[in-house]
Copies of this chain bind each other. A is one copy, B any other.
Amino acid sequence: MTLNEKIEKALKSYIPPENVYVQKLYDAMEYSLVAGGKRIRPLLVLEFCRLCGGDIEDAMPFACAVEMIHTYSLIHDDLPCMDNDDYRRGKPSNHKVFGEDIALLAGDALQALAFKTATSHITDKNASRVARAVNNLAYYCGAEGMVGGQVIDLESEGKNVGIERLREMDRKKTGAIIKSACEMGCIIAGADENKIENARCFGENIGLAFQIKDDILDVTAEQEKLGKPVGSDLENEKSTYVSLLGIEKCSELVQSLTQEALKNLESFDGDSETLRKLALSLAEREY
């Protein structure tokens, strides 16, 4: 089994067993959770755990947890009172299939499931690392992280916002749980603070490169490849890196941030080839 297949299998295993009263909710949760995506965040958890000498089986609950958080944020982001998107990854968005009320609750339940999953294998030996990793995830996915970033995003619509505010938005909105994924992998492996700090910088750099690349692709990619309307951010009059800096400068930034990220990996003793490849593939992707 490839690592991605292991992640898919693990994700499915955490959906609660059938229940006659609540099945619609479970179906809605599963619909979005197994809807594909690149599983970048789970891979970061597992690879940083491995890089720090840990067992990826110990990190798998956190790999799944971070993907559950990511998935719930997409469901809520698509709701009519938010971005009002009818499609996600080329499929009807959650609320188009299950209704707004169930979609809202499926998101809520996926957030809870993330923390249940993260604490599903507690032993006296790992409890301290598990509790620290939970705290890390909760911090980065909450008001000071991902959700805060979504608020900055909302408040920026239809405004000309500067590059500082845009960076702060992305640092929180997409960057925060990417950083959390990198840090949690290290925490579960019992890595020292220096390594956690380097993982955080790696996450910060690829997170920003990822977002700038997203803005570039939003302008250049073809609709069917991306699975969402090309140029939707421009239509909403949102400031993007491309609208502020131009495509050429943005492409340079993606390259330099990726090189920084590769440097962050040098402080680790283990084999970081997979993470190197991941960073490079994010920078070079065409969808």
Residues of A within 8 A of B (CB): 16, 19, 21-22, 24-26, 29, 72-73, 76, 79-82, 100-102, 104-105, 107-109, 111-116, 118-120, 122, 124, 127-128, 130-132, 134-135, 137-139, 141-145, 147-148, 150-152, 154-155, 165, 168-169, 172
Contacts and interface: CB of A to CB of B under 8 A. Distances in A.
A119 B131 contact: yes
Contacts of A139: 112, 116
A100 B115 contact: no
Given A25-B151, A102-B154, A113-B138, 17 more contacts: A16-B144, A21-B148, A25-B143, A25-B147, A82-B101, A102-B151, A105-B151, A108-B147, A112-B139, A113-B142, A113-B143, A114-B138, A115-B137, A116-B142, A122-B128, A122-B132, A130-B131
A148 to B, nearest CB: 4
5 contacts: A19-B144, A19-B148, A25-B143, A111-B112, A119-B138
B119 A135 contact: yes
B143 A26 contact: yes
